[in-house]
């Protein structure tokens, strides 16, 4: 073994190397955090040209590898904590989440079996029990941490599909899909996350299986249209395996009428999955918790902590109301979750997850909850929702801006409105404003569509951002719009 032992262990040499590497990295992060720019503004072509792997025969050593990562990755990273970085559901992270990452990474526990993650398994199970209680689910530990909303939605849809077939006496797990698959449908709103479509395709049912339900003026699922689509499905000989409701659509932050949807679904014994990837943050809110009324009626729920819970990526969870449905994805591997171990009461989380090897992301939320406490966590979540309302009011008062929709969570949809211009040219202008601001490195504003028309989006998750910061950003949107218009 060379002198330079690269493996983390208890040897004095390894510990010294670890401390040096971590110290060098944290020093670099501190410098990066102090960088005033949101982004240094390099183009795709420039970054492609600049960034190259140096995989040499002798290796560069830790110090040089870190220096190169600082130069080629860190300096040109997007400052997600910057007050003008508001394009996406992409949060700045809690300091305690960073500390948790140090522990998670150094211990490298794997959540698939108890003998690879003893204390971590218990912590994750207790956290799932706690999350279920917040949702209003019966006591239990059916649920698991996931890589995020896409995976949690996949779990909800997959179990819904398999429960649907199981009711007809067929095991998808054993025998695969059967019958006239073109007749099996999932209903979700026009504004549901695209992972519904992607997951249905992945599950062998295709995009064609997704029936879109109309939305109201606030992007929420229209329950009258849902009732109609259910009736039409029946009339066409189609079978609805699930309804996916959204609590916090990606752009408008709309929360579908959860209780009404659950009531309609119950009439026909249809599985309801609620994608609360964003809106689930309101579980901790003091002011807005009631927006989630009816969440407890869902058969399964997606939560995401790398959105408005301010955890580092990845950190999500899937909750399953009735633990018996986990049987539908049960697989026993002698080396991980044997009968013998289960009879002894040894817990294992591989049976609850699509993943085998899995990070201990639950620790971040656990430490976040402990460090911040209920009041502070509620404050930083509520801040974004309240700020969005203030920003919307300000936008509505600006002659050159147009508010597209009243905010519901922490996003504001709006447009730069030139004095003249048809819909297509206004759309293009707004797209170009978003691109120009990012290219300048000064701001990252979302560009999206509302009712098919291009608009700009501010996603105001960052609790350190105040109305004055947003006014500065809006002034640069207007200035940029005017400049582009006159060019």
Element (H, E) at 61: none
Q: Residue 316 or 441: which CB sits closer to ligand PLP? A: 316
Residue 90 tokens read as 């992409």
Measure the CA–CA gap between 343 and 322, rounded to whole angstroms.
21
Q: Residue 154 or 284: which CB sits closer to ligand PLP? A: 154
CB of 285 to ligand PLP, least distance (A): 17
Residue 275 binds to ligand PLP (criterion: CB under 6 A): yes
Considering only 31-39, 108-116, 241-249, 459-467, which stretch makes contact with ligand PLP by CB under 6 A?
A: 241-249
Element (H, E) at 358: none
* Beta pairing, strands 453-459 & 411-416: antiparallel
Residue 428 tokens read as 């293009």
End-to-end CA, the chain: 64
Q: Residue 315 or 336: which CB sits closer to ligand PLP? A: 315
CB of 376 to ligand PLP, least distance (A): 24
Residue 304 binds to ligand PLP (criterion: CB under 6 A): yes
User: DSSP label at 71?
Assistant: I
**Which of 83, 92, 143, 149 is in the footprint of ligand PLP by CB under 6 A?**
149
Q: Residue 250 or 348: which CB sits closer to ligand PLP? A: 250
Q: Residue 199 or 454: which CB sits closer to ligand PLP? A: 199
CB of 62 to ligand PLP, least distance (A): 31
Neighbours of 302 (CB within 10 A): 31
- Kindly list the distances between the CA atom of residue 6 and the CA atoms of 2, 64, 164, 240, in Å, as whole numbers in the listed order: 9, 14, 51, 54
Place of tokens 């099996």: 184
Element (H, E) at 456: strand 453-459
**Which of 199, 215, 246, 408 is in the footprint of ligand PLP by CB under 6 A?**
246
Residue 89 binds to ligand PLP (criterion: CB under 6 A): yes
* Beta pairing, strands 316-320 & 446-450: unpaired
Nearest to 278 by CA among 191, 182, 165: 191
Q: Residue 113 or 195: which CB sits closer to ligand PLP? A: 195
Considering only 149-157, 259-267, 289-297, 479-487, which stretch makes contact with ligand PLP by CB under 6 A?
A: 149-157
**Which of 114, 145, 271, 278 is in the footprint of ligand PLP by CB under 6 A?**
278
Neighbours of 329 (CB within 10 A): 16
CB of 247 to ligand PLP, least distance (A): 8
Residues 338-357 that bind ligand PLP (CB under 6 A): none
**Which of 109, 116, 219, 250 is in the footprint of ligand PLP by CB under 6 A?**
250
Burial class (CB in 10 A: 0-12, 13-18, 19+), 50: exposed
Q: Residue 116 or 150: which CB sits closer to ligand PLP? A: 150
Per-residue string for binding with ligand PLP, 36-65, x by CB under 6 A?
------------------------------
Per-residue string for binding with ligand PLP, 159-198, x by CB under 6 A?
----------------------------------x-x---
Q: Residue 294 or 481: which CB sits closer to ligand PLP? A: 294
Residue 256 binds to ligand PLP (criterion: CB under 6 A): no
**Which of 92, 143, 148, 257 is in the footprint of ligand PLP by CB under 6 A?**
148
Considering only 61-69, 124-132, 245-253, 324-332, which stretch makes contact with ligand PLP by CB under 6 A?
A: 245-253
Compute the Cα dihedral for 151, 156, 161, 167 and give only its sign: positive
Measure the CA–CA gap between 329 and 353, rounded to whole angstroms.
9
Residue 16 tokens read as 């010294």
Q: Residue 151 or 383: which CB sits closer to ligand PLP? A: 151
Neighbours of 229 (CB within 10 A): 20
**Which of 110, 150, 300, 383 is in the footprint of ligand PLP by CB under 6 A?**
150
Considering only 59-67, 246-254, 328-336, 413-421, which stretch makes contact with ligand PLP by CB under 6 A?
A: 246-254
What distance lies between CA 90 and its chain's CA centroid?
Answer: 8
Q: How many binding residues for ligand PLP (CB under 6 A)?
A: 16
Q: Residue 113 or 411: which CB sits closer to ligand PLP? A: 411
Per-residue string for binding with ligand PLP, 312-341, x by CB under 6 A?
----x-------------------------
Measure the CA–CA gap between 318 and 279, rounded to whole angstroms.
14
Nearest to 187 by CA among 251, 252, 242, 140: 242
Q: Residue 148 or 463: which CB sits closer to ligand PLP? A: 148
Measure the CA–CA gap between 173 and 329, rounded to whole angstroms.
7
CB of 279 to ligand PLP, least distance (A): 8
Q: Are 135 and 295 in contact (CB under 8 A)?
A: yes
Site residues (vs ligand PLP, CB under 6 A): 89, 148-150, 153, 193, 195, 246, 248-250, 275, 277-278, 304, 316
């Amino acid at each position: 073994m060379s002198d330079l032992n690269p493996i983390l262990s208890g040897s004095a040499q390894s510990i010294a190397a670890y401390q040096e590497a971590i110290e060098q990295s944290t020093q670099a992060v501190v410098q990066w955090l102090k960088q005033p720019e949101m982004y240094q503004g390099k183009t795709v072509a420039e970054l492609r040209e600049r960034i190259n792997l140096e995989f040499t025969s002798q290796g560069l050593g830790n110090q040089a590898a870190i220096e190169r990562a600082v130069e080629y990755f860190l300096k040109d990273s997007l400052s997600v904590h910057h007050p003008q970085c508001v394009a996406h559901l992409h949060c700045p992270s809690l300091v305690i989440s960073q500390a948790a990452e140090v522990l998670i990474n150094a211990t490298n526990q794997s959540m698939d079996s108890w003998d690879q993650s003893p204390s971590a398994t218990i912590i994750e199970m207790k956290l799932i029990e706690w999350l279920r209680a917040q949702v209003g689910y019966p006591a239990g530990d059916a649920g698991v941490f996931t890589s995020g909303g896409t995976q949690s939605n996949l779990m909800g849809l997959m179990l819904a599909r398999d429960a649907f077939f199981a009711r007809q006496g067929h095991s998808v797990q054993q025998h695969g899909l059967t019958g006239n698959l073109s007749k099996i449908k999932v209903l979700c709103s026009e504004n549901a996350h695209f992972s519904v479509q992607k997951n249905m395709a992945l599950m062998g049912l295709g995009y064609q299986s997704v029936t879109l339900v109309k939305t109201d003026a606030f992007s929420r699922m229209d329950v009258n249209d849902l009732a109609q689509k259910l009736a039409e499905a029946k009339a066409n000989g189609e079978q609805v395996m699930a309804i996916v409701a959204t609590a916090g659509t990606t752009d408008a932050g709309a929360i579908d009428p959860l209780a009404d949807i659950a009531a309609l679904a119950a009439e026909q014994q249809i599985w309801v999955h609620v994608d609360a990837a964003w809106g689930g943050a309101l579980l901790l809110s003091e002011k807005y918790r009631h927006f989630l009324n009816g969440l407890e009626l869902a058969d399964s729920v997606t939560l995401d902590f790398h959105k408005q819970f301010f955890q580092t990526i990845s950190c999500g969870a899937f909750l399953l109301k009735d633990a018996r449905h986990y049987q539908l994805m049960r697989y026993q591997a002698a080396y991980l979750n044997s009968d013998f171990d289960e009879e002894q009461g040894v817990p294992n989380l591989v049976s609850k997850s699509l993943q085998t090897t899995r990070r201990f992301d639950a620790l971040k939320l656990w430490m976040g909850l402990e460090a911040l406490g209920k009041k502070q966590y509620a404050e930083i979540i509520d801040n974004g929702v309240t700020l969005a309302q203030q920003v919307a009011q300000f936008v509505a008062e600006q002659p050159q801006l147009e508010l597209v929709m009243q905010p519901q969570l922490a996003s504001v949809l709006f447009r730069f409105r030139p004095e003249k211009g048809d819909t297509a040219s206004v759309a293009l202008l707004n797209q170009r404003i978003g691109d120009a601001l990012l290219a300048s490195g000064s701001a990252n504003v979302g560009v999206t569509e509302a009712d098919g028309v291009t608009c700009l989006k501010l996603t105001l998750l960052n609790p350190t951002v105040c109305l004055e910061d947003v006014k500065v950003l809006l002034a640069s949107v207007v200035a940029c719009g005017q400049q582009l218009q006159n060019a």
